[in-house]
Chain A
């Protein structure tokens, strides 16, 4: 199950998080490393020379004005940009747990099993809640009822949704409210037991109560997952993240501990953005 098929030193199975834990040499090493990264949509350059590390079990928030490339960078981390016809990398690389994910030998399927994603607009499948959660297991050929039942309960509990839906697992995932749908999508992403969760504005369509629930959830997920979250909400970034990265016009302007960024930003543009003077 190696990410790179014939390269033994890159990340191995994440199937069992316990075995994973023993493999981790020391906590807080960079799990995601972006180095000198340029990215283009056709002729248009969307990312300029990005350099950043995201550490294990940390929450990193991407902030910045609309169109500055937050989503683009996020989608590069699990290669969802492969779906975009014109997308291409200009320079640099992204490493996940030491493996260059744009190595031609990389199997994107394996990568995406380890780097899960939650989208801005909740997108549960038109299937039952139960089937939604275990979709990732089904496609791996896991059909054993006991395993699936266990996964459904674990993931729905993990996504703080279990108590609300435990009696109606057979109803359509689309019958849930917006906030519940988004948590269902998170539960679905958890089922494949990724190491990293990418979240692109997961709360932008939710009301304050649902947002609070998701934020709480992010907080508790931090113990087991490395999370990258894109948000337009400064308070949210301040509440949930350990590190914050500010982007502007495709460039990473500043990245630091969240407290530092919000208390004493080094860069003028960052300061202007945070204080709401532009963007």
Chain B
């Protein structure tokens, strides 16, 4: 800039070069602002897309459940529950006989001798089984009716839709050719309902039969098994007393009772079944997947938190520079292993190892061991822990590193040991940072897909939490796993497709919540420092 004479006015006008009316600073600002904007837009689009694809789910699901009710399937399901519980009784009875057989074998009885022993109460078992036959036959028959009705109805509405599509396209002649049946579901329901007295009569017969049979319980002569026989009697009588309950539910059942959005929602959020491609009725209850994800993630966290945080403390406070230079990159390197490789390792090596290890003598005191499954929540949890450790380690180490050095010096200058300084000053000061590291590790684990898909065993069932230790060694399925597994094979726009998107939504919300909490905690930490 030329220096004007001192007496003249300053010329302060900008002489920077301009491109498209922008100078360099503005252009840079525009560039970075643009980048930020793109990220925001992409995020918004993802959210919107998830919402859009998932949104139709509840309406469709409500419609499905309504059809399930209107076609009488729900009614049949009640009867089926009853027969299922009768079958349960049969199984219990047979298990007594099975146990008896193995006891006899242990005692060294020959096959013929054992058979003779067992046959003493064979009639009892057969008679009991026979009691249930008419009931089961009846329910199957009604089931056929209801399914037939439902399928006809669905088919008819498909045709109707087809015809309407043709009409909309102006292809009237073709549309006229499409025959649409008018399916009145109430006729079928009437039919099913009409059978109710028959069913009640069958029920009565079963009840009377059970009471008569159990009155004259066979004795086996082995205390443990006779106790079981007594237990069987109790169960059987309990079943009889529960029959009333089924009957009232049948009587109260109303095919016209409307199905609200609320029940569709509840059926998704609290539903215990995730059944797809069923010939009877599909259910989209997220609970088994949600609990599965949670179980696997919890196992992973129980392992990863002490290891990750411990390693972070060690590296930051205790390790020599040589150790630091070795361990730090090594742990961080773990996160570079593709998850599919970890999953592969889980299937090929680790799962089998866990199963074998569970047979070792030191575990013989535990009821749950040895385990029979190779791919379980535990297998997946261990491998996920491996993936969470680098996240937790790195973030926790950062948090610890952020503790001002002067705190450490002050503590040591007071005559505190290293350990005291670490436990009383360093860890408490960085605690919120460590907690948010843990939360983010949890987020990583909950969102991980490949490992759980490969190693969790993929059985869609709520883990039985009353099983104690064995709970952790059951195969489970997860929210991420189910999406990866099923999304490829569903029809675009179908209810199943939308249900998977809803699962995705739940995952998304969960991650959002975790991140929000992590930020909240860090914020609180900064406030308490200042």
Contact = CB atoms under 8 A, between A and B. Distances in A.
B429 A113 contact: no
B406 A113 contact: no
A125 to B, nearest CB: 6
A117 B413 contact: yes
B407 A125 contact: yes
Nearest to A107: B415
Contacts of B411: 125, 135, 139
B412 A121 contact: no
Interface size range of chain A in the complex: 20 to 34
Contacts of B409: 80, 83, 119, 123
B20 interface: no
A119 B428 CA distance: 22
Given A80-B409, A135-B411, A139-B424, A172 B528 contact: yes
A65 interface: no
Interface string A76-89: 00101001010000
Q: Interface centre among A110, A121, A123, A172, by most B CB within 10 Å?
A: A123
Contacts of A136: 414-416
B414 A119 contact: no
Contacts of A140: 415
Contacts of A124: 410
Given A85-B321, A125-B407, A116 B429 contact: no
Interface string A124-149: 11110000000110111000000000
B235 interface: no
B512 to A, nearest CB: 30
A78 B417 contact: no
A21 interface: no
A139 B412 contact: no
Given A138-B424, A139-B424, A172-B528, A125 B416 contact: no
Nearest to B413: A117
B102 interface: no
Contacts of B416: 109, 135-136, 139
Contacts of A116: 413-414
B415 A126 contact: no
B410 A125 contact: yes
A139 B414 CA distance: 9
Nearest to A111: B415
Contacts of B321: 85
Nearest to B419: A139
A85 B322 CA distance: 12
Contacts of A185: 410
Contacts of A112: 412-415
A135 B424 CA distance: 9
Contacts of A117: 413
Interface of A: 78, 80, 83, 85, 109-113, 116-117, 119, 121, 123-127, 135-136, 138-140, 172, 174, 185, 188-189, 192
Interface of B: 321, 404, 406-407, 409-417, 420, 424-425, 428-429, 528-530
27 contacts: A80-B409, A83-B412, A109-B415, A112-B412, A112-B413, A112-B414, A113-B415, A119-B409, A119-B410, A123-B407, A123-B409, A124-B410, A125-B407, A125-B425, A126-B407, A126-B428, A126-B529, A127-B428, A135-B424, A136-B414, A136-B415, A138-B424, A139-B414, A139-B416, A139-B417, A139-B424, A192-B414
